[in-house]
Amino acid sequence: MRFFIDTANLEQIAEAMEMGIIDGVTTNPSLMAKEGISGEANILNHYKTIAGMVDGGDVSAEVISTDFEGMIKEGEQFAALADNIVIKIPMIKEGLKALNYFAMNGIKTNCTLIFSTGQALLAANAGADYVSPFIGRVDDTGWDGMALIQDIADMFKVQDIMTEVLAASIRNPLHIIQSAQLGADVATCPLKSIEALLYHPLTDKGLAKFLADAEKLK
Ligand code: G3P
């Protein structure tokens, strides 16, 4: 399973790239707003900067239009910024039309706000390169986000569907581990969830002991 980082924060993207653990970035309007990015020119410039930071890895840029024409206009603007931009489209009827249009025109897409296997199947049939089931938000409603990942991954396998399952709305390290175990192709994670995989008290304790003993070797 590949890792994307789910942020529009340039420092966090740079840090994750330095660690060599990520293959791409996903953003959304909420994450862009969190960074204080506003205005068309600034938004386009920010996406271009991110696209240049990830060695050709996929960078999802989300449209904010909800009509077909608007999505196409925004998506084409994003796609012109860099070869590794993926257009993020919401799971609505107009979105399906846009997914189909971009597939026909050789532009990669990520269908976002997926909350059911049926939605994932529709997005795949419309030509999406990625579907993004939102695990954390499913958990928030009292349902099982991981079961959704499993159902979609199993269905795509049985049907030989090439669309990739991109586990999103990751909130903790267990979401990441279970996504990998259940067959997600990618997990897009906040840096803090990735870092939570890294730390273990016994590693810190063991290292402290090695360093203390190393003093005796001097
Ligand atoms: O990639 C979608 C993700 O950013 C949503 O996460 O935590 O807002 O549910 P969250």
Note whether 103 and 83 are within 8 A (CB). no
Structure confidence at residue 130 as a pLDDT band (50, 70, 90): very high
Note whether 149 and 178 are within 8 A (CB). yes
Atom of ligand 1 minimally distant from the CA of 31 = 4
List the single range of 114-118, 121-125, 177-181, 192-196 with lowest mean pLDDT.
Answer: 192-196
Q: At 40, list the tokens.
A: 């068309």
Each residue of 93-111: pLDDT tens digit? 999 999 999 999 999 999 9
pTM exceeds 0.85 for this model: yes
Provide the annotated active-site residues: 88
Atom of ligand 1 minimally distant from the CA of 169 = 6
Residues whose CB falls within 8 Å of the CB of residue 127, separated by 6 or more in sequence, listed in order: 99, 100, 102, 103, 104, 109
User: How far is the C-alpha of 46 from the C-alpha of 154, rounded, in Å?
Assistant: 36
7 lines ligand 1 (CB under 6 A): no
62 lines ligand 1 (CB under 6 A): no
Q: How far is the CA of 149 from the centre of ligand 1 (A)?
A: 15
60 lines ligand 1 (CB under 6 A): no
Per-chain mean pLDDT for the chain:
97
Q: How far is the CA of 13 from the centre of ligand 1 (A)?
A: 16
Q: How far is the CA of 27 from the centre of ligand 1 (A)?
A: 9
Each residue of 80-93: pLDDT tens digit? 999 999 999 999 99
